[in-house]
Amino acid sequence: MSHNIPENLKYTKEHEWTLIEGDTVTIGITDFAQSSLGDIVFVELPEEGASLEINSAFGVVESIKSVSDLYSPLSGEVLQANGDLEGAPEMLNTDPYQNWIVKIRMTNTEELDQLMTPSAYLEHCNSLN
């Protein structure tokens, strides 16, 4: 299985990607995640303004067969949730990096150390195959 792992992003063990721009962090699921899940048919998003703690569940992605929690890669406050996904969850399958899930304002920059580089994430994915 080959993985599309863009170089400009940071990753988590739970197969989420993060794009860090100042204190704004855009979060989505990786190509590995969407491919493992299969046909994604439902996304449950957090409320805007909700405060998230690192590693806490903030939403749900469901494929036909499975229910998976989304875990927050960082602590912060939800600035925006991608409401387009509610009507078209399959967009996470077609382009998981274009179709982000939430944007948050991070509140603890020290947590950034816990994110994985693209090469560390690639290694993580390979260890699962």
Partner 1 sequence: MELLKTILHQKHCDLGAKMAPFAGFDMPIQYTSVKDESLAVRNSSGVFDVSHMGEFLVKGADAVKFVDFIVTNDFLNAGNLKAVYSPLCREDGTVIDDLIAYKLKEDEVLICVNASNIEKDWNWIFSKTEGFDITLENQSDKTSLLALQGPDSEKILKELGLIPREDFTYYSVGFSKFEDSEVLIARTGYTGEDGFEIFCPNESITVLWDKLLDLGVTPCGLASRDVLRLEVCYPLYGHELNDELTPLDANLKWTVKESKPKFIGKEKLSGHSSKYRLAKLSLDKGIPREGYSVLNLDGKTIGYITSGTHSVVLGKGICLAHIERDAWPESKEFSIEIRNRVFPATYHTKPFVTGGHK
**Which residue among 14, 53, 62, 111 contacts partner 1 (CB under 8 A)?**
62
Three-state helix/strand/coil letters over 48-64: CCCEECCCCEEEEEEEC
Residues 3-42 that bind partner 1 (CB under 8 A): 38-39, 41-42
Residues near partner 1 (CB under 8 A), total = 11
Q: How far is CA 6 from CA 27, 37, 118, in A?
A: 13, 20, 7
**By CB under 8 A, is residue 65 in contact with partner 1?**
yes
**Which residue among 14, 44, 53, 111 contacts partner 1 (CB under 8 A)?**
44
110 C-beta neighbours (distance < 10 Å), count: 8
Residue numbers at the binding site for partner 1 (CB under 8 A)? 38-39, 41-42, 44, 60, 62-65, 67
